[in-house]
Amino acid sequence: MTVRSAQETDFSRVTELLEALGRAHVTHDSYALARQVYLNQLEDPNAAHLVAIDNGVVAGFCSLHFRTRLNHTTPQAWIPDLFVDPATRGRGAAKTLLIEAERLARERGCYELALESGYERSEAHLLYSAAGMQDAGKFFRKPL
């Protein structure tokens, strides 16, 4: 299992993974704009987007953002999306992505690495706990 930065050519596969995670589906009408958002994110200096490669195939994706927070002098590393194809789970992709995200966060001088995860993702929660992360709260949202 290897990890590398996401590339322009990974767009379709990353989109498939995000859709499987429960993110919005990219339709014919939204394709061009979604692709542009993806390309812009790849160039964002306050983000890192990683893919796990298993036997030459993108098996997982991790989006990592470095954001400033009030009362902190260093950024927070935040993972809004971390997902591995169910067909390739158990081979270390998620762990490898998480290790690389933490390495990048430490390199950037972040004060913490945080992520959000749905209640139904209990298997992922075991990985996060094993990686030394703490269950630190709840996530609320209101669709607009």
Pairing of strands 76-84, 112-115: parallel
Helices (H), the chain: 11-21, 31-43, 93-107, 122-130
pLDDT for res 102: 97
CATH number of residue 33's parent domain: 3.40.630.30
* 89 occurs within a structural domain: yes
Return the pLDDT at 46.
98
**Chain CA centroid to CA 15, Å:** 12
The number of domains in the chain is 1
Residue 44 lies in a domain: yes
Q: Which residues, at least 6 apart from 135, have a Cβ–Cβ distance to it below 8 Å?
A: 125, 129
Which residue range forms the structural domain that includes residue 59? 2-130
- The alpha-carbon radius of gyration of the chain (Å, integer) is 15
Q: Is there a domain that residue 136 lies in?
A: no
Q: What is the model's pTM?
A: 0.89
Asked whether residue 138 is domain-assigned, the answer is no
Taking only the tens place, the pLDDT of each residue in 37-91 is 999 999 999 999 999 999 999 999 999 999 999 999 999 999 999 999 999 999 9
139 falls within a domain: no
**pLDDT the model gives residue 83:** 94
Instruction: State residue 121's pLDDT score.
Output: 82
Which residue from 141, 85, 91 is spatially nearest to 118, judged by alpha carbons? 141
Q: Do the domain assignments include residue 93?
A: yes
